[in-house]
Amino acid sequence: MRPTARLGMSQIIWTEDDLQRVERIGRAAAPALIDALPGDQRRAVQARVLEELEYGEIARRPGTSEQVLRKRVSRAGHHATTADRRISMSGFDHLEQELRAAQQRRRAAGHARLRPLPVVPLLALVATAAIFVGARQATITTLATLARSQRTVDRLPPRIIGPPNRHVYPYGTYPPMTGIYVRYIRKARHRFGANYYLVPAANANTLSPVPERCYAEQRNALRRELPTILANLRQAALTLQSRYIANQQAALLPYPGVCLTAINDTGNGDGCSSGYSLSQIKAGHTLTSGAPAGVPVVYGLAPTGVRTVTLYYPRRAPQTVLAINNVFILHTPRQKLPRNGLPDRLVWRGTAGQLIKTITLR
């Protein structure tokens, strides 16, 4: 069960009005939230979150290591969510009251299943959204489709489930992300019977948090086993476990991103298990293989400026497709291409045919 369900929370979907309030408060609060961090945490957050640098790149700077950086970013996230009451609290209180009032209006209009939001998760989400305002703007720059004006076709279609028990979700089904920017959802393409939507969110990480007691039990379990480990290997085992837990915690940190969801006219198809971060989009690690409308395809995101994408397969001719509205789609009959159409290599080229990037995937 997802943590939101255990807390009695419905999935948080930002409306246009809600998002405008967050942006207004976030622009004022983000600098204060970052400035309030200790110096080493502030520098780590600026490099990792706002500049979207990989931990390895930051660690090449003098006086730090990748493991230390991960801890600093993790502590900064905790600091931001516990200190938000001391920073521009009147703005957060005002936003919280408005969001609660909006939920009450929706419940009165017939959405009886919506429940009030607990205070702490709501404030933590607002703090996260405030910090990631700059990163979201960078994502919009990378995917220019998100910058165009919203149209009627950008709304997710109603999702119809059945038979035998037919049920209709009139507003479609949103990906399982937190803080979805509803007014930035864009329909990018219609191809082979499916519609492809870009869905950006403040937090695209869909992994469920792990309670601290679980990490404590892992540490205790290893210490109980230490007497059975060779003496000269005990410290190495403890160090390895520390790095493993740090990597686990880092994988659960929130990050802004974009989901590429492909659905047919009934609102069903290939969902999005997690969104792609800006660094993943720039690295070309966004490939998905599926059949959202019954036709096998492989598809992914390409940054603005990429005109064609060439997919390379072993012992097969390369396949070149256009990148339109930041999305490329290739029909991949399973009897012709290996690994359900997932290639070994991608090549991005610009409008003049110039090489932009070569991406090795295996």
State pLDDT tens for residues 146-158. Answer: 988 889 899 888 8
Closest CA to 183 of 133, 135, 147, 157: 147
Give pTM, 2 decimals: 0.63
Which residue in this structure is represented by tokens 């969902």?
271
pLDDT at 121: 42
Burial of 143 per CB tally in 10 Å (0-12, 13-18, 19+): buried
Query: Would you give the end-to-end CA distance of the chain in angstroms?
Result: 34
According to the 3-state scheme, what is the secondary structure of 36-51? Answer: CCCHHHHHHHHHHHHC
pLDDT at 116: 40
> DSSP characters for 86-142?
GSSHHHHHHHHHHHHHHHHHHHHTT-TT--PPPHHHHHHHHHHHHHTHHHHHHHHHH
As a whole number of angstroms, the distance between CA 185 and CA 173 comes to: 13
What residue spans of the chain are helical by DSSP H?
Answer: 3-6, 16-35, 39-45, 55-59, 66-83, 89-108, 119-131, 133-142, 212-225, 234-251, 278-283
Give the three-class secondary structure for 197: strand
pLDDT at 17: 57
| Integer CA distances (angstroms), 18 to 153, 182, 186, in order | 21, 10, 18
As a whole number of angstroms, the distance between CA 77 and CA 128 comes to: 8
| Integer CA distances (angstroms), 152 to 145, 149, 156, 332, in order | 15, 10, 9, 31
Give the three-class secondary structure for 190: strand
| Integer CA distances (angstroms), 295 to 227, 251, 272, 326, in order | 57, 33, 18, 21
| Integer CA distances (angstroms), 59 to 225, 248, 350, in order | 32, 18, 32
As a whole number of angstroms, the distance between CA 172 and CA 155 comes to: 8
Domain edges within the chain: 138-205+253-362, 212-251
Cα angle value 102/107/111 (rounded, 5°): 120
Identify the segments of the chain with pLDDT beneath 70: 1-35, 49-53, 63, 77-137, 162-166, 169-171, 273, 334-335
